[in-house]
Structure 1
Amino acid sequence: MKRVLIDTNIYIEFLRGDENINNILSSADFIAFSVISIGEILTGFKIWSDEKKYLNELDEFLYSPRLIIYDIDSETSEFYAKIYNELRIAGNPIPTNDMWIAALALQHGIKLLTNDRHFTKVAGLFLI
């Protein structure tokens, strides 16, 4: 595996010290993370008792030399619209944030590492 986009739940497992996740991330040439996941994580930190500790760990993670942060642009919006419409027509919606994450993975041609099985509903998305 060369490149991997990690979903929010994978970052949480990484924080918890999941050995399998650590092994997968260690073998990647680079790790991508979305602004969507950063927003979800910051939202979660607000309800955790040790917010400052987790913010420091997130900063350390975000400044890793092997990490790239993917932001949303107009091309991402086109991928999102396609995913949204395909899932709506099929009657298989997934959470909005996850459609954006899937759109980023498709846009950049990168595999998505996630524990959420609903991503299997997204056509053309490669999962780890």
Structure 2
Amino acid sequence: MLLDTNAISAWAKGDAALLQALRPDRTWYLPSIALGEYRYGLLKSTRRAELEAWLESVEAACVVLAADGATARHYAELRRALDAGQGEVPYHDIWIGALALQHNVEVVSRDAHFDKMPGVRRIGW
């Protein structure tokens, strides 16, 4: 289960529906892209210290995935498919989709544009 930025945010807020979707018998993955986005948001938060401590515990419970050459190939293929009429999708989410394809895991996200990515499976809540 690869957590998108909005899933990380929902987890931090204790979103009950998300917490039910996070199956304890599965490995949880954090894309470095989403970590960067979330950490950027923390820089503007009035609860920065509290949320940074929380995020450290989340990182310890998850596997962090970073992009590599194989991810770049998946990214290029996804972006090309999206150029062919699948609609506008933010580039950072195409990278997250590429990581999901590379590691054969679902993306946990509220963003329906992951559904436009060929082969990417999304778990919503």
TM-score category of the 2 structures, normalised to the smaller one: over 0.9
Partner of 1:124: 119
Q: Conserved in 2, the CA contact under 8 Å of 1:45 and 1:55?
A: yes
Write out per-residue CA displacement over residues 19-43 of structure 1, whole angstroms, 9 at most, x where no aligned residue.
1211222434210110001000011
Structure 1 outlier segments of 4+, above 3 Å: none
Q: Which residue of 2 aligns with 1:94?
A: 89
1:52 corresponds in structure 2 to 49
Q: Deviations over 1:64-89 (max 9, x none)?
A: 2xx11111000000000011111112
Q: Give the TM-score taking structure 2 as reference length.
A: 0.93
TM-align CA RMSD: 1.1
Q: Secondary structure in 2 aligned to 1:27? A: coil
Q: Unaligned stretches of 5+ in structure 1? A: none
Gaps of 5+ in 2: none
Give the CA deviation at 1:92. 1.0
Counterpart contact for 1:84–1:93, Cα < 8 Å:
no
User: Identical aligned pairs, as a percentage?
Assistant: 27
